[in-house]
Chain A
């Protein structure tokens, strides 16, 4: 139940460098009107960042390409995409993805 000074220092330092990029744009940009080109650019950030995160989560492991194609995750990802399009529900998408990957990993252990 102890807290070491060096670890505390690391935690406080890490929290400060995490906090600044989180709050600064919201504090500055929500109080002023951004030029149109900036708005247009920012409007593509959500798609871009989510796609990059999906790509990193599925296609890469420690920065190296995985053998994703025809893996359990590949088919589970398709099942998640179809569920998302069909139900438009985030909860259903997560559940479908997890259940698919469980079932597929189970089956691939048997076949």
Chain B
């Protein structure tokens, strides 16, 4: 089990592109999203959403930051149009993730591409792009396994949060709030370690961090992430071309 979960050592044994392998490769991300999902469910419930509404939101919207925003804006009595527009902006970064993943799938039928894309998140993107970088391509079955495991985990976590959230005063206090940051750190480090251009990657990463801090001073957090990504990726592309 432990061996299969390690995604950084791909050459120890041939790993099948199976659905089950995708599920296994999702395991390291479960904790991070379990805690944030629980928090999202609890916040939704506290904001006055019913458990059915929280469940529907996880099933249909399936996006962490968006669900926090919806709960907050519904509670504050925001208009439907304003909420939907905000969610659109917050989730716009998926355009970049979806585009970056596309070269790893060859001649994907439209229906399969739609299924894979509809369950794409930061975490499944991070795991998939790491595997894609090492192996050169990705299988649809593996990707579905990864996506479905993450989706069910999220659904379970948010519903549990809506159910039990009222009894837990400070869900953050057990360090679970750090699980998400640790997961992004892990995905970043593993990705940098597998590409063989560590100095360029390091420079791009530092650019992105500086850019997200600078951009946050003028635009909202989600737009800052998009701006930082565009700036840092451009810096990387120019560095690549130039050297």
Binding site for B on A (CB under 8 A): 1-4, 6-15, 17-19, 21-31, 34, 37, 39-60, 63-65, 73, 76-77, 80-81, 83-85, 87-91, 93-99, 101-102, 105
* A49–B237 touching, CB < 8 Å: no
Residue in contact with B188 in the complex, picked from A1, A15, A51, CB distance below 8 Å: A51
Chain A residues lying within 8 Å of B28, measured Cβ to Cβ, are 89-91, 93-94
A45-B188 Cα distance, complex, nearest whole Å: 11
B167 within 8 A of partner (CB): no
Closest to A105 in B: B175
A31-B102 Cα distance, complex, nearest whole Å: 9
A108-B197 Cα distance, complex, nearest whole Å: 38
A51-B91 Cα distance, complex, nearest whole Å: 17
Closest to B78 in A: A10
Closest to A73 in B: B178
Chain A residues lying within 8 Å of B217, measured Cβ to Cβ, are 63
Residue in contact with A89 in the complex, picked from B5, B107, B212, B229, CB distance below 8 Å: B5
A76-B182 Cα distance, complex, nearest whole Å: 8
Binding site for A on B (CB under 8 A): 5-9, 27-29, 31-32, 49-53, 56-57, 60-63, 66, 70, 74, 80, 83-85, 87-88, 91-103, 105-108, 110, 113-114, 116-118, 120, 122, 125-127, 129-130, 133, 174-176, 178-193, 195, 201, 204-213, 216-217, 220-221, 224-225, 228-237, 240-241
Residue in contact with A97 in the complex, picked from B94, B122, B182, B235, CB distance below 8 Å: B182
Closest to A45 in B: B100
Closest to A106 in B: B175
Chain B residues lying within 8 Å of A58, measured Cβ to Cβ, are 181
Chain B residues lying within 8 Å of A47, measured Cβ to Cβ, are 188, 191-192, 195, 201, 204-205, 208, 232-233, 236
Residue in contact with B105 in the complex, picked from A13, A30, A43, CB distance below 8 Å: A30
Chain B residues lying within 8 Å of A49, measured Cβ to Cβ, are 93, 96-97, 122, 125, 208, 225, 229
**With known contacts A2-B50, A60-B213, A48–B190 Cβ distance under 8 A:** no
Taking the nearest CB of chain A, how far is it from the CB of B222, in angstroms?
9
